[in-house]
A and B are shown apart, each in its own frame.
Chain A
Amino acid sequence: MNSSTLLSAPVRAADTPAPTPTAPSVTGTQLALADDLLALLRTTTTEPRPDDQLEALTLAVAADLPVLLWGEPGIGKTAALTQLAASLDLPLTTVIASVHEPSDFSGLPIVGDDPAVQGVPMAPPQWAVELVRAGRGLLFLDELSTATPAVQAALLRVVLERRVGAIQLPPDMRIVAAANPRASAADGWELSPPLANRFVHLHWVHDRQVVVRGLGGVWPRAELPRLAPERLPEAVAFARRAVCGFLEARPTLIHRLPSTETRRGGAWPSPRSWQAALTLLAFGTAASVSRDVLALLVRGTVGDGPGLELLAHIDRMDLPDPESLLADPASAELPVRGDLRQAALEAVVAAVGARPERERWEAGWAVLVRALETGAPDLLVAPATALAALRRDDWEVPEAVERLTGVVGLARRADRSVRRATTLANAGRATGARR
């Protein structure tokens, strides 16, 4: 009673003309001033800013895959979602999973007149009905990890089939969920593996610069990745080639339930998540996003280990084709990075070894000479040794090999140094000087 009168007091003051000229009008102007101040504080602008995690989130949302943001409380997950919804022009529906009951997601059973004849309809909650009425929207399931196991089980259907009770959510709807990592969610449950497998997991960390700039009034803007229409078939072909080629080589990674305690609740590989990874690869390629964004997405879909292996496989797909290097050694473009360059040269040697012919062997030497001209010589030692071992008796050593003598010298110098080191160690051990 007391509280209602207290609450209604300022409202009445605003509605009715002031009985005394001082006190209520002061309250009124004070409130108006406060509103002005709040309005000023809320006036922020946005700026385009390259932000990998925001780009990854936008791309996954564009690809219509459910995303799960992991992050400490108060880190700006909800703010990012609000920005995203605004920039995609989608109405945002926030559902805090942990305060709901399973029936809010699986439908509320309503007993009718004759259940045996009509059945018991599962009535959807209001938010779902409104979402269907709007026809589109961004559904944000917050606090997923603190929902009880029964609620998580009910959410499976929402996330995968997009059904809430008897109602089918519109196809133009995107799902993003958020969860606190186990370390900070003291009373949380871990995500069950089936639910975890349906999401693209993104670890949300705050960027000092973004936060400082955002509090100063300028937030980064998420832009929908621009899909290049002419690249679509190429992107699909690339994604299929990458994932299929990789899984051919590593069939054990097709399905692997998380086994150790540290990996529970996170992404893990299964045919479903590989399908998602393929989709994301195609989207990323068509939108020409950076490899870092792709890495975030792929690792968040199939897990760190398999994701990194897939990325390494894609890196290797980027290496120049050994046959074309052999065909035109003089203008060969070799990777700049040392480890990739060595991998490319080893692929050339392997290609020569697969079909050893004299011309190919000599072309192999020419590629090595080209590599010597454009990069560090120590990378050549292993490929040159392997290529020399492929020599047949009737093949003459090509002149180009002369130019690799420096490499041989380098290898000898390293060998001498290794010998020195081992004799030193042996001497030390003999006299007991070391350890």
Chain B
Amino acid sequence: MTGPAKPVGPSPRPLPRPMPPPAPPRPVRVSVPSPPAGSGEPAGRPGPPLDLEKLLAARLHAVKVRPYLADALFALHVVEDRSVPTMAVDVHWRCYVSPGFVARTPVEELAGVWVHEVSHLLRDHHARGERYAREHEEHGPGERSETGARQDEAWGRLRRNIAADFEINDDIYGDGLPLPAGAVLPSLLRLPTGLLMEEYLRTASMSGLAADLAWLDCGSGADGQHRPWELGPDGAHGLSRQQRDAVRFRVAEGIKGRPGQAPEGWRRWADEAFHPPQPWRQLLGAAVRSAASAPGAGENHSYRRPSRRSAAVPGVLLPSLRRTPPRVCVVIDTSGSVSDAELGSALLEVAAIARAVGGRRDLVSVISCDAAAGIAVPLCRAENIALIGGGGTDLRSGFARALRSRPGPDVIVALTDGQTPWPSAQPPCRTVVGLFPRPAGAVDEEDPDYVPDEPPSWARVVTIG
């Protein structure tokens, strides 16, 4: 048994936990002791025993300072295992613990590790990691040798683990959970905090960290890759998929029910845990498409002209598929600070969708405020869209101008950051609002109590970006 219990001096790089020797060879467990029911403590093994009391005191600490995670923390099943570097979780919500790691780590830091590991599971890092690996072909059938492929796989695993740790570590510590001597933080690579695991994976190479963090291993719960020491789906005390979802759901509901307690990052997670945000392009596309296909516009069946099938079946009245190209009017409001890049991509998207649903180029028009002319004019010229110039400083005048045009639009798409008054009455056509999200509070320096109106309920709102 290679006990990773050597005391380590101050490390040159900040590390989340006391560093064991890098990448210890992990012996596959010879026998898998099935823990006695409930106790979670396999007995009769050599070496220092697991200090279960210390570990559970740390769990209590974590529950006290993060009460909203209590259900998830208690649902974890502890498995003692000497081949785990520190602590690790598998996808079945078992928590593998190295006794040596527990012995040399203070209780308050252990509490942080508990929260860290449970965060991997709550945030579904294994499924997201697998999905990322599949989409980016990290398991691709390389022509390299077997060992080369395996190294690649190990590197992919480590990358996903580091990115997942970045996502977790930048918002779980503090407020009763001491930040360990130096956690794996995005600042190591001079990356911004608050991003998601996938974003870190996309933007950063992380190769500089690889050598130092080779030991880092939070188990298959962090990246979705099976480890030799894990008990697998048939082992005892695993949670089924439904049970995992139920626990995650209860935690999410608990956070949503008492929003005052949980920090921003957890609240955002709770909102999105079961409804991950969809790409805005698709949402905007669906919204514009369904608005443009409303009765009276777009492609639908009508009896206005007989179907061409009618000649073949005399005596039968058939409707025909008629296409009434929708007139789409895009209202751009730039009284706030919408960047040219944001605006440009959204406007291009609207134009493309409007064409796809059958609108001709001349039926797509843009009404812009003067501030936006800088971006809107060349874009519209390139796209051959008629630009109706000028406009008010608030969205109401933009709507009024759009409705004044003859013939009137079938769909109004408003691109705005929401810091604007809205029309009080529903316009006589479908409305889609593309909303550029703005952080609350950064609104008005003069009147801190000013809260911009929500987009009205009659508009379909798609958050962009």
Contacts and interface: CB of A to CB of B under 8 A. Distances in A.
Interface in B76-109: 76-78, 106-108
Given A149-B300, A261-B462, A336-B37, A292 B241 contact: yes
Nearest to A410: B57
Contact of B301 (A102, A112, A123): A102
Contacts of A151: 301
Contact of B286 (A148, A182, A308, A418): A182
Interface in B119-156: none
B278 A101 contact: no
Interface in A318-359: 334, 336-342
A263 B272 CA distance: 12
A339 B293 contact: no
Contact of A421 (B63, B178, B241): B178
Contacts of B372: none
B286 A291 contact: no
Contacts of B242: 291-292, 294-295, 311
A260 interface: yes
B377 interface: no
Interface string A354-383: 000000000000000000001111110100
A404 interface: no
B249 A312 contact: yes
B246 A262 contact: no
B277 A262 contact: yes
B299 interface: yes
B458 interface: no
Interface in A226-273: 260-264
Contacts of A187: 289, 356
Interface string A411-435: 1011111101110110000000010
B61 A414 contact: yes
A94 interface: no
B75 interface: yes
Given A262-B275, A417-B57, A418-B61, A150 B301 contact: yes
B396 interface: no
A425 B54 CA distance: 21
A55 interface: no
Contacts of B64: 414-415, 418
Interface in A274-326: 290-292, 294-295, 304-305, 308-309, 311-312, 315
Given A150-B301, A418-B61, A102 B178 contact: no
Contact of B274 (A110, A304, A418): A304
B420 interface: no
A339 B73 CA distance: 8
A204 interface: no
Interface in B299-317: 299-301, 307, 313, 315-317
Contacts of A123: 316
Contacts of B245: 295, 308
B58 interface: yes
Interface stretch (B169-177, B196-204, B330-338): B169-177
Interface string B452-465: 00000000111000
A308 B246 contact: yes
B165 to A, nearest CB: 19
Contact of B38 (A305, A374, A414): A374
B341 to A, nearest CB: 22
B78 to A, nearest CB: 7
A305 B274 CA distance: 8
A342 to B, nearest CB: 6
Contacts of B178: 421, 424-425
Nearest to B39: A375
A103 B319 contact: yes
Given A108-B318, A339-B75, A261 B40 contact: no
A414 B107 contact: yes
A183 interface: yes
B193 to A, nearest CB: 11
Given A312-B246, A414-B64, A338 B75 contact: yes
B278 A183 contact: yes
Contacts, number: 183
Contacts of B239: 337
Given A103-B319, A342-B74, A379-B74, A422 B176 contact: yes
A368 B177 CA distance: 29
A261 B176 contact: no
A109 interface: yes
Given A190-B286, A374-B38, A260 B59 contact: no
A334 B39 CA distance: 13
A103 B318 CA distance: 7
B455 to A, nearest CB: 11
Contact of A338 (B61, B74, B253, B290): B74
B37 A374 contact: yes
A108 B56 contact: no
A315 B244 CA distance: 12
Nearest to B37: A336
Contact of A260 (B39, B249, B275): B275
Interface centre among A108, A151, A341 (most CB of B within 10 A): A108
A290 B300 CA distance: 44
Contacts of B356: 186-187
B160 interface: no
A304 B276 CA distance: 12
B53 interface: yes
Contact of A336 (B61, B237, B290, B461): B237
A109 to B, nearest CB: 5
B300 A183 contact: no
B78 A417 contact: no
A42 to B, nearest CB: 28
Interface centre among B52, B242, B316 (most CB of A within 10 A): B242
Contact of B60 (A263, A315, A378): A378
Given A292-B242, A424-B178, A413 B307 contact: no
Contacts of A295: 241-242, 245
A304 B275 contact: yes
A101 B319 contact: yes
A416 B54 CA distance: 12
Given A421-B178, A422-B176, A381 B60 contact: yes
Interface in A91-128: 101-103, 108-112, 123
Contact of A425 (B40, B70, B174): B174
19 contacts: A103-B319, A148-B300, A149-B300, A183-B279, A190-B286, A292-B240, A308-B274, A309-B249, A311-B246, A337-B237, A337-B243, A338-B73, A340-B75, A374-B38, A410-B53, A410-B56, A410-B57, A413-B54, A424-B108
Given A111-B315, A261-B460, 18 more contacts: A102-B319, A123-B316, A182-B282, A190-B286, A190-B290, A261-B461, A305-B249, A308-B245, A308-B274, A312-B249, A337-B75, A375-B39, A376-B40, A376-B56, A378-B56, A413-B53, A417-B107, A425-B178
Task: List the 7 shortest-distance A-B pairs measured between CB atoms, nearest first.
Answer: A414-B60, A338-B74, A295-B242, A378-B56, A417-B107, A375-B38, A413-B57
